[in-house]
Homo-oligomer: A and B are copies of this chain.
Amino acid sequence: MQDDLKDRLCDVVDAGFDRQVRFLSELTAHPSTRGNEQSAQDFMASELAARGYEVDRWQIDVAGIRHLPGFSPVLGPYEDAVNVVGIHRAQAPAGRSLILNGHIDVVPAGPLDMWDSPPFEPRVEAGWLYGRGGGDMKAGLASNLFALDALRACGLAPAADVFFQSVVEEECTGNGALACLARGYTADAALIPEPFSERLVTAQLGVIWFQVHLKGLPAHVAYAGSGANAIEAAFPLIRALHEMEHRWNAAKNRPADYAHMDHALNLNVGKIEGGDWTSSVPAWCVFDVRMALFPGQPIDAAKDEIEQVIMDAARENDFLRNALPEIVYHGFHAEGYALSQDSSAKAASAIAALDQAHQSATGEALAREAITATTDARFFGLYADTPALVYGPRAEAIHGFNERVDLESVRRVTKATAMFIADWCGTEEI
């Protein structure tokens, strides 16, 4: 790529950055928690249409993806699960095609009084944009879109197909990205600007979600002995799961990308509910667990071990022995994925292109990181033979309170993305 084009792309990103921040603020104001993404998707679809992209907007059909590798079970209906894809077709395709992927769904805000300002009323302060989803990952959706805008402002368009994806379900199943694959959207590479501090993600963990349902026939509280309480019966099960977590993290189980991490795999009891009345011995309790696994660790074996651990602990409990827990899978069946293990020429050239774009945009070498979360990258990398580059801005407190994203970082990532697109896809005049 000519230095001249690099400079021009940087200039137009700068020139349009106030507009980009306003766009990000408006997008972040849509409270697009799971099931509530419609207004945010409407906004994305209208922004794409206004730019002249062909817009594909559809409801995920579980029956159409259930049989595919990477599918995660879902409990509820998918009537409210809508993906949006904006399609750019080159006039004279010459370069390599690209998927620009981002998820529109955000995790719940949690107790509002723990936020310094309302989570869905984004504000900018001292270079940070605050708000739920601002970092994870609406800033990435914005940088994808405004990187394309930057090319256009230079009188250019990608010389290959580009699919701009705004997907749901990243935070619980990944079925949104999977539905894009099933609908036929494939390309030579994918870029996903998840907020990992401008580092290239070389590996990500797998994640399993499960619920443990406890139920039994307790005595009246006035006659309650110990151990007959469905809430307290959960405690030894959680203890046993933590022992499993400890075993899974043992040095001998770690792949190379995670060899240096003592505790990459986290087990999280994310939710609990039980009992109906203070003076009744609770007859039921449900708790939700997220457990991570290493790339290469098979989901089925992991599930078998989780079930074994829970049942073994239950059999040692007076209350549970006669009413064994029910285990319900209510989300992620996500395998781990390591870009570092992709030895294809396509992967090497995509990484090289991003290396160079990042260097040009920031003046620094692109750092690498193995992350302890999952992303939608796995669908492209594992099931579509497509190298997936996870590379996005710096954010803090994602899934926490006062989530915020560093706007100068967003600016740099937008520039790097524009240069990456121009390099990877090539350009044609518009």
Contacts and interface: CB of A to CB of B under 8 A. Distances in A.
A220 B399 contact: yes
A282 interface: yes
Interface of A: 107-111, 114, 171-172, 205, 207, 209, 215, 217-226, 229, 231-232, 235, 238, 242, 263, 266, 268-285, 287-290, 292, 330-332, 371-373, 397-401
Contacts of A331: 278
Contacts of A401: 217, 283
Given A220-B398, A269-B275, 18 more contacts: A107-B277, A110-B280, A111-B215, A114-B283, A220-B373, A221-B266, A221-B373, A221-B399, A222-B266, A222-B371, A232-B238, A268-B281, A269-B282, A271-B274, A272-B282, A272-B285, A278-B290, A279-B332
B231 A108 contact: no
Contact of A272 (B238, B263, B274): B274
Nearest to A373: B222
Given A221-B399, A372-B223, A400-B218, A277 B270 contact: yes
A247 to B, nearest CB: 15
Contacts of A280: 107-108, 110, 268, 270, 399-400
B110 A207 contact: no
Nearest to A239: B235
A279 B107 contact: yes
Interface of A is mostly: loop
Contact of A279 (B111, B209, B272, B276): B209
A221 B270 contact: yes
Contacts of A242: 226
Contact of A270 (B107, B272, B282): B282
Q: Among A273, A276, A278, A371, find the residue whose CB has the most chain B CB atoms closer than 10 A.
A: A278
A261 to B, nearest CB: 11
A224 to B, nearest CB: 5
Contacts of A114: 215, 217, 283
A251 B13 CA distance: 78
Return the 6 tightest CB-CB contacts between A and B, nearest first.
A271-B275, A222-B373, A270-B278, A222-B372, A108-B276, A278-B288
A268 B278 contact: yes
A170 to B, nearest CB: 11
A130 to B, nearest CB: 15
B400 A219 contact: yes
A249 to B, nearest CB: 12
A211 to B, nearest CB: 8
Contact of A269 (B108, B229, B269): B229
Contact of A400 (B220, B268, B400): B220
Q: Among A215, A223, A231, find the residue whose CB has the most chain B CB atoms closer than 10 A.
A: A231
B277 A399 contact: yes
A275 B108 CA distance: 10
Contacts of A238: 232, 235
Contact of A271 (B217, B269, B282): B282
A339 B207 CA distance: 60
